[in-house]
Amino acid sequence: MRIERISEILEEGKRAFSEAADEASRSETEVRLLGRKSELSEILRGLKDLSPEEKREFGPVVQGARRALEEAAAAAKERLLVEGRDWESERIDVSLPGADDPLGHLHPVTTMIREIEDIFTRLGFEIAEGPELETEFYNFDALNVPADHPARDMQDTFFVESDGFDTRYLLRTHTSPVQVRYMETHTPPFRIIVPGRVFRNESTDASHEHTFHQFESLVVGETGDVTVGHFKHLGETFFSEFFGRHVEVRLRPSYFPFVEPGFEFDISCVLCGGAGCPACKRTGWLEVGGAGMVQQKVFEAAGYPRGKYQGFAWGFGLERLVMMKRRIPDIRLLMSGDLRFIRQF
């Protein structure tokens, strides 16, 4: 075996790879010089018949030549790949304007919640929240709703399978449970609003949804400090600001277990100003929700001593206000997920 022959093979091979004009000839060169039947492979196989001294002399030279040729083959492959690309067709015009990514926007209910939060924040209110998955205790018991009250009925409440738990869980039917949760960790005086999603197990129509929003208000101070007068004034201030015109408030006696006295809360019709129109069924008034002076039993459920505090609360349907403000005829449109509707806002 001659060292010179190995250098010849190496030199010739390097040249062949660097001169290969296409992948076919490069690959053919690879087989010829490095394949099983190549002269180099033959030499490699013959190494085992040499004496130990010869092995030491030739082995590294042959192995080195093989590695160098493999590298030359790989380099040629890379070179041919780059040369073979059609650069012209891959040219990018960096001056072209980018594709216009359509931007989404806030849902009208979200916009409305933020608007309401802004108004109340300016009036010194805090914003509180509570869980949508609520316990029967906070949703009903703590609010003095009797165990046999029809609102607890399967028809109105989505009860959640609570096997294995000590408490019964449900999807909250109103935002009022947050009153008690908040009072458990805060001491009066305070004023809060609680916007949030609520759920009712009822059939839907143009003015009823199974999933909708309310915003609760709770204002509490020492007995004598917070009256129905404050409450009516706050209502007028808020609604006048919200609708951008003067709005009157009317309270009608009503019953809710968590307030005493309780009221239906009406505002003067924002379309006709109280003169009477189809929107207010010619009465001049629109009903927006329930309200009243907080029942002492609710204070007690939150751990307050009886008689020490006095306050008012209300719970208004948010969608109803969105519908009045944006003139939307059907509540179901709001949660329909129909983009043709949503894009109008």
Query: What is the distance between the alpha carbons of residues 234 and 223, in angstroms, rounded to a whole number?
Result: 18
State the CB neighbour count (10 A cutoff) for residue 344: 10
- Which is closer to ligand DAH, CB of 38 or CB of 176? 176
Round to the nearest angstrom and report the end-to-end CA distance of the chain: 88
- Which is closer to ligand DAH, CB of 32 or CB of 297? 297
- Which is closer to ligand DAH, CB of 190 or CB of 341? 190
Residues 190-229 that bind ligand DAH (CB under 6 A): 216
Question: Contact at 8 Å (CB) between 38 and 9?
Answer: no
Beta bridge mates, 292: 262, 313
Residues 182, 199, 215, 256: which binds ligand DAH (CB under 6 A)?
A: 256
* Interaction between residue 292 and ligand DAH (CB under 6 A): yes
Tokens at 200, concatenated: 């009712």
- Which is closer to ligand DAH, CB of 157 or CB of 176? 176
- Which is closer to ligand DAH, CB of 32 or CB of 210? 210
> Which range, of 102-110, 123-131, 300-308, 311-319, touches ligand DAH by CB under 6 A?
311-319
* Interaction between residue 291 and ligand DAH (CB under 6 A): yes
Q: Minimum CB separation from ligand DAH for residue 98, in Å?
A: 49
> Which range, of 1-9, 117-125, 284-292, 303-311, touches ligand DAH by CB under 6 A?
284-292
State the CB neighbour count (10 A cutoff) for residue 157: 20
> Which range, of 12-20, 79-87, 129-137, 285-293, touches ligand DAH by CB under 6 A?
285-293
- Which is closer to ligand DAH, CB of 72 or CB of 219? 219
Beta bridge mates, 66: none
* Interaction between residue 313 and ligand DAH (CB under 6 A): yes
**Exposed/middle/buried for 66, CB within 10 Å: 0-12, 13-18, 19+?**
buried
Counting residues that bind ligand DAH (by CB under 6 A) gives 12
Question: Contact at 8 Å (CB) between 215 and 169?
Answer: no
> Which range, of 184-192, 205-213, 225-233, 287-295, touches ligand DAH by CB under 6 A?
287-295
C-beta pairs of 262-271 under 8 Å, 24+ apart in sequence:
262/290, 262/291, 262/292, 263/290, 263/291, 263/292, 264/289, 264/290, 264/291, 265/235, 265/289, 265/290, 265/291, 265/314, 265/316, 267/235, 267/239, 270/243, 270/245, 270/324, 270/325, 271/324
Residues that bind ligand DAH (CB under 6 A): 174, 176, 216, 256, 259, 289-292, 313-315
